[in-house]
Amino acid sequence: MRTAITVERWTPLSIASVALAVAVLIGLAFGPLVLGANAVDELTTLFIYVILAVMWNALAGYGGLVSVGQQAFFGLGAYAAVRLADFGVGVYPALVLGALLVGLVSLPISAFMLRLKAGEFAIGMWVVAELAHLLVNLDSLVQGETGTSLIALNAYAAETRHALTYWVALGAMTALLGTVFALLRSRVGAAIQAIRDNEEAADAVGVRVLRTKRIVFVLAAFGAGMAGALWLATAISFQPKTYFSVQWTAYMIFMVLVGGLGTFEGAILGAVIFFAIEAWFGSAGVWYLVGLGATALVFALFLPRGLWGVLESRTGWRLLPVGYRLRFSDGGSPLPHGRTASVPVHAGGSTSQG
């Protein structure tokens, strides 16, 4: 019997999912008006976790750049916000400008780091984080490990401060999610994934490897910097050893491994799961961290595709369509599980950069 092949991206399920996501984001915008202070703070924390997970997933899951030093940009984002506020910049504009400065600083860093491969890149990023930590400690404003505070936040009443931080976090999360989604659906997104799969082959077909890797590297740095600045706005105090701790990258890795490395939905799911685990077991101290490490190890060994990756392979669900896929049908009826395969190519059918 004849087999029909259909190339698809949008499906009724994905259209409904995107519409629901937009409705949820609109509803969340009214959060501070209807929720209590504790719920507002908890949701702000969740937004920051989503940013961290999506940014690390874009870098490692899609770009193949596994970093254990993203805490460098997280800490620099918080530090830049403190510095800008001390210079007289408005506290909330300072959060965004601080993240932009981190993105700018990541450009010269990328010139060196992106020439490293695999484990060399991962360790090199950890070295960058340690170096950034040491340099920040030299600033007299920070006073070494004693740290400082974002004193300008005291100009706002507590309720106003929590609401403004919530809205900035929600806006940043929405903008970054939209940016990553649009990037991955573009020719650059196809090039990023081609480099991840086989850098030499991608270069051979015309992909501008270094430039493409730099785009995702800078975006991930900016996102981590934004998350660090937002965390500062929730905590107020800035202590370098806290913000430059490798545990931030460990959290990112955990969220992405559990949710699904290299899947857009998986990073979001992983952030929600991590948020719930922290809420329930965060008070367990060192055993909480041991549990996170053991869970991440189990997923890496036995469920390398994460929860969403397994669910997607069994059901064929794709809520947020990043790439294309082929649907094979027999006589007009889809074969079991849709017999689908994701094909991360540009609409023009090319992964090359013009």
pLDDT at 106: 96
C-beta neighbour count of 336 within 10 angstroms: 6
Task: Provide the β-strand partners of residue 326.
Answer: 7, 341
Alpha helices in the chain (DSSP H): 12-28, 31-34, 37-56, 71-86, 91-113, 118-137, 158-184, 187-197, 199-204, 209-235, 240-243, 247-259, 264-281, 286-302, 306-315
- Residues 213-255 have pLDDT tens digits of 999 999 999 999 999 999 999 998 999 999 999 999 999 999 9
The domain ranges of the chain are 3-343
pLDDT of residue 350: 38
Q: Return averaged pLDDT per consecutive 10 residues of the chain, 354 residues in all.
A: 65 86 94 92 96 95 91 96 92 95 96 88 94 93 86 87 95 95 88 85 84 94 97 93 92 92 91 89 74 81 84 79 66 42 41 37
> Which CATH number applies to 3-343?
1.10.3470
pLDDT of residue 130: 95
Q: pTM of this prediction? A: 0.87
Residue 71 is predicted with a pLDDT of 96
Which residue do the tokens 């202070």 mark? 37
User: What angle do helix axes 187-197 and 209-235 make, rounded to 10 degrees?
Assistant: 100
What was the pLDDT predicted at 325? 67
Determine the pLDDT at residue 344. Answer: 41
| Rounded alpha-carbon distances, angstroms, from residue 337 to 55, 324, 326, 328, 341 | 31, 17, 13, 10, 11
Amino acid 279: pLDDT: 82
CA distance 91 to 82: 8
